[in-house]
Structure 1
Amino acid sequence: MSAIESLRETFRRDQTWPMLQSSQANVNVDKDVILYVEGLNLSFDGFKALNDLNLYVNDGELRCLIGANGAGKTTLMDVITGKTQCDSGSVFFGQNHNLLNKDEAAIAQLGIGRKFQKPTVFEAQTVFDNLELSLKTDKSVLPTLFSRLSPTQIDRIDEVLKIIGLEQHRFMLAGALSHGQKQWLEIGMLLAADPRLLLIDEPVAGMTAQETERTAELLTSLAGERTVIVVEHDMEFVRSIARTVTVLHQGSVLAEGTMDEIQSNKDVIEVYLGEEQAEANGAGGDA
């Protein structure tokens, strides 16, 4: 073993630096609710983006958020993840973590991961490397310089590759993946960081029908062990995964319930689903 290799072995991140690595936060879910949003208000130049919004999401739930453009969906996720400060209200992760007094990095460390609509993968790196970079480890200079994957970390990457269905593409450059595969890789990058709550923004935009079906299976499989909140405009996709749907309108919750309840809600039909939905319901069909 060379001197460099010996030094790297001495300073192996998984052996020497465990005290520097972020441990999973203790999230109190005694009441089975993992996300509390209460009385949330936010205005931009007089426009009320969030208006006394209340939302409660159970631990392990798969929740779908729908609403027209400008309804407050993205703004809500911005507040939850610390990207935007609200004017008033409260947001708690479990019963013991006030998210409004934490920045984006601290919120991510608590176990909240967010995927934006457009895939943001490292296209010049392999699929495996993208997942390695996303592992929840200490990112300071010395641990990173002397890093070496442990068997546990390699097993974790293999597990994520299996979950997202990219085992056969582990050494492919991320830039060579299809649009749908890039979306799955980004979800995998979130999973590699071991989040408790996943916020997924329009995951099937631009996907083929086959990719959309696979994405529905993927997100459904994640619920239970993790909590998943999905923002989506594709009603067929929402219908395929939804257990509970929350409809936002003008920064407030307009309705909440099963997909059948939402589709038959007169207020929702009027402001969001439209007259075609009303006609379809009257004919006994689905829109």
Structure 2
Amino acid sequence: MSVKREGLDTEHGVILYLDDITVSFDGFKALNKLSLDIAVGELRCIIGPNGAGKTTMMDVITGKTRPTSGSAFFGQTYDLAGMTEYDIAHAGIGRKFQRPTVFEQHTVFENLELAAKMDKRVRPTLFARLSSEQRDKIAEILRLIRLNGQEDRLAGLLSHGQKQWLEIGMLLMQEPQLILLDEPVAGMSDAETARTAELLNELRGKHSIMVVEHDMGFVAEIAQQGEVTVLHEGSVLAQGRMDQVQADERVIEVYLGR
């Protein structure tokens, strides 16, 4: 299936719409009539206990898992259920998994260069020279991800946090409309976590971002201007500002505790 990103329809301000999504595995409902939407430019945090369905939801959005029932739309134009993982990525959805997957034997610059050339039907572009526009974009992203001055360093020598930032930079090279981040600060130092919060706050408004995270301090830092969605048993348990969610008795009972 051929998909053109320029067809993205954000007229009504919604970039992602999940409607009544159910995913069943051998009778177990990993998602159970899940409905939510993400606005253009929004940074939405998704929290909830293990097994709540957070990863399965991301798998549905990126085409890795097909829903048993329900609908998923990207930009009100693309029906994700009818698209391959490649088509979904090409349409403008980028995903970063919890563990960083950078090319450790290549430099920071080369990682960003490879990301700029990925998935363009592939071989001719791998050997093409970067345009001045691409070089400018790499320089801009290096500053954004706090790795300017580190461009000639092997990615394998970076700290865990720096590898996470590099992978976010590699996603940004693909110019996604929607970015999915799975526990981006897991294993980071306090200083790295704080810098990651700064990075995501800088990206807010320029990209739509969904962040799945367990670190409540980090969530509070990046959710100040937006909403938090709480998943439980495959459905939305609660949604609202961080203070509203933290005060919700249902959320306290199943996730936050006292």
Instruction: Classify the TM-score, shorter chain.
Output: over 0.9
- Counterpart CA distance in 2 for 1:180 and 1:25 is 33
Partner of 1:184: 165
> 157, 161, 164: which one pairs with 2:142?
161
- Is the 2:104–2:156 Cα contact (8 Å) retained in structure 1? yes
- Is the 1:161–1:170 Cα contact (8 Å) retained in structure 2? yes
AA matched with 1:28: D
Tell whether 2:147 aligns with 1:144. no
Partner of 1:66: 47
Spell out, residue by residue over 1:256-284, the C-alpha distance to the aligned partner (whole angstroms, 9 max, x if none).
0000000111111111111x2xxxxxxxx
- Counterpart CA distance in 2 for 1:225 and 1:58 is 12
SS in 2 for 1:130: helix
Larger Rg belongs to = 1
| Equivalent runs, 1:71-90 vs 2, <5 Å | 71-90=52-71
AA matched with 1:114: R
Partner of 1:26: 7
Tell whether 2:227 aligns with 1:244. yes
Partner of 1:220: 201
- Counterpart CA distance in 2 for 1:241 and 1:141 is 39
SS in 2 for 1:113: strand
AA matched with 1:247: V
State the identity as a percent: 58
- Counterpart CA distance in 1 for 2:130 and 2:37 is 38
- Counterpart CA distance in 2 for 1:217 and 1:98 is 33
Pairs aligned (count): 253
Tell whether 2:214 aligns with 1:233. yes
Offset, 1:230: 0.2
Spell out, residue by residue over 1:15-41, the C-alpha distance to the aligned partner (whole angstroms, 9 max, x if none).
xxxxxxx97432111111110000100
- Is the 1:25–1:111 Cα contact (8 Å) retained in structure 2? no
AA matched with 1:252: S
- Is the 2:104–2:154 Cα contact (8 Å) retained in structure 1? yes
SS in 2 for 1:169: coil
Give structure 2 stretches of 5+ with no counterpart: none
The TM-score with structure 2 as length reference comes to 0.95
Identify which range, 28-37 or 129-138, moves more after superposition.
129-138
Partner of 2:245: 262
SS in 1 for 2:6: coil
Tell whether 2:182 aligns with 1:193. no
SS in 2 for 1:253: strand
Offset, 1:144: 3.1
- Counterpart CA distance in 2 for 1:49 and 1:155 is 43
- Counterpart CA distance in 2 for 1:107 and 1:124 is 28
Pick closer, same or farther for the CA change 1:24–1:153 going to 2, 3 Å: farther
Spell out, residue by residue over 1:143-199, the C-alpha distance to the aligned partner (whole angstroms, 9 max, x if none).
434x11110111111111111010110000000000000000000000011101000
SS in 1 for 2:149: helix
Offset, 1:141: 2.5
- Counterpart CA distance in 1 for 2:6 and 2:80 is 13
- Counterpart CA distance in 2 for 1:230 and 1:177 is 23
Partner of 1:46: 27
- Is the 1:198–1:227 Cα contact (8 Å) retained in structure 2? yes
Offset, 1:95: 1.0
- Counterpart CA distance in 2 for 1:119 and 1:204 is 11
Give structure 1 stretches of 5+ with no counterpart: 1-21, 277-287
AA matched with 2:240: G
- Counterpart CA distance in 1 for 2:206 and 2:130 is 25
Partner of 1:272: 255
- Counterpart CA distance in 2 for 1:167 and 1:141 is 28
CA RMSD of aligned residues (A): 1.2
